[in-house]
Amino acid sequence: MNSTVTILKSSILAGICIGIAGFGYLATGGLPGAVLFACGLIAVVSYKLKLYTGTAGFFQKGELGQVFLILLGNIIGCLCVGLLARVSPMPIQESAEKIFEARLAIGPIRAGLLAIGCGFLMTTAVTFARKGQYLPLLFCVPMFIVCGFPHCVADAFYYLTASLQFWGENILKIIPLYICIVIGNFIGCNLFRMVMDGKTE
């Protein structure tokens, strides 16, 4: 029980870190915003917090349930920052809805396939960051953003920042879209060890 509570608390904090990074990206936009987003993963790695895309590529036998508990905690953390974004004087909500619309426009299958790229980049970044090598992280994070590779935790922040009206109009499209992104990220996170038939570290 204590282990479950600890994992959930750590994952909520990780979601808050990514939510704040997403907030910065929405406030800034473009390549500068994508670079600033890297601070979220730097915080996660430095504090050794539990992030879905930072954990999914490293889980061992019997730990798969923990991976999805981590995702739940990450979403809760993103919700906290999403609520904060609603009181910002900046057009954060409008920027989030534009990303949301772009995801919906390409559909679940294509979003899921693109999400594989994000998962691969995230596991690459975390693999090296765990060894004290942060340069790959500073490149991999902006890379997945400029490529338009969906990140299920960052997307959770964007979606939870969108207006209730926007949700009401798109609720039936959101669920399959998000499931495909989560699966795509998971595949990408494990791509190296699936191909090489070994561990990432």
Q: Which amino acid is at 184?
A: G
CA–CA separation, 133 vs 138, rounded Å? 10
With beta carbons less than 8 A apart as the criterion, state whether 115 and 184 touch. yes
The enclosing H or E element of 89 equals none
CA–CA separation, 120 vs 35, rounded Å? 18
Chain-centroid distance of CA 135 in Å reads 19
Tens digit of pLDDT for each residue in 145-192? 999 999 999 999 999 999 889 998 899 999 999 999 999 999 999 999
Tens digit of pLDDT for each residue in 124-138? 999 999 999 999 999
pLDDT of residue 57: 95
8-state DSSP, 144: H
Q: Which of 90, 85, 89 is nearest to 161 (CA)?
A: 85
Tens digit of pLDDT for each residue in 84-111? 998 999 999 999 999 999 999 999 999 9
CA–CA separation, 164 vs 169, rounded Å? 9
- Angle between helical axes of 2-28 and 30-47 (0-180°, round to 10): 160
With beta carbons less than 8 A apart as the criterion, state whether 38 and 137 touch. yes
With beta carbons less than 8 A apart as the criterion, state whether 93 and 27 touch. no
Tens digit of pLDDT for each residue in 40-81? 999 999 999 999 999 999 998 888 999 999 999 999 999 999
pLDDT of residue 200: 47
Q: Which residues does 158 contact at the CB level (< 8 Å), separation at least 6? A: 22, 26, 96, 99, 100
DSSP string, 181-192: HHHHHHHHHTHH
What is the reported pTM? 0.94
What percent of the chain clears pLDDT 90, i.e. is strictly above it? 90
